[in-house]
Amino acid sequence: MDLKKWRALVILSALPFASFASTIPDGAELTVKFELPKIQTSTYARPYVAVWIEDSNRKSVKTVQLWVGKDEWLKDLRSWWRKVGRYDRELVDAVTSATRPAGKYRFVWDGRDDNGNALPQGDYTMHIEVVREHGGRNYLRQPMTLANDNQSYQLKATPETGPISLFYQIK
């Protein structure tokens, strides 16, 4: 191998692998069907909910949903707060919405990060944290592969959530 080819090979091998990876296809969507069950108790409070996605390096890439009544309650979403919330006040302000009553919900993620950039195809983890004042705490994780194939994932009901369905679809 001549010196020129060897240098080119060294330079290419030093670049991060992600720079060669295809991005999640335009039009791909991850639809989340999510239920908050009706809980019969005299001290029921609407739960705080955080839904976020991490890459294979366990780095948060997208906060998909954040339902909290007041800023002071953000810290009750312990896992999300430690990973994401305490570091990015602008993100918190951009994604926070009010808590929701018991019921069925649906939301869609477009495969882009918090800055609107297309993410590379690969392995990710969906995190769902649900905390209720005077109630329980549930923290669910679902590994998933986002590439060129449709995928679906089912998470079993917990005391604070109904069953959760994830549908990744290429349109």
Per-residue pLDDT of the chain (171 residues; tens, 9 = 90+): 555 554 444 444 444 444 456 999 989 999 999 999 988 888 888 889 999 999 999 999 999 999 887 777 777 887 887 888 877 777 777 777 788 999 999 999 999 999 999 999 999 999 999 988 877 889 999 999 999 999 999 999 999 999 999 999 998
Residue 53: count of CB within 10 angstroms of its CB: 22
Ordered structural domains, the chain, with CATH: 27-169 (2.60.40.4070)
Residue 124: count of CB within 10 angstroms of its CB: 23
Structure tokens at 72: 């002071």
The H or E element spanning position 135 is: none
d(C-alpha 52, C-alpha 41), whole Å: 29
Structure tokens at 45: 């409070």
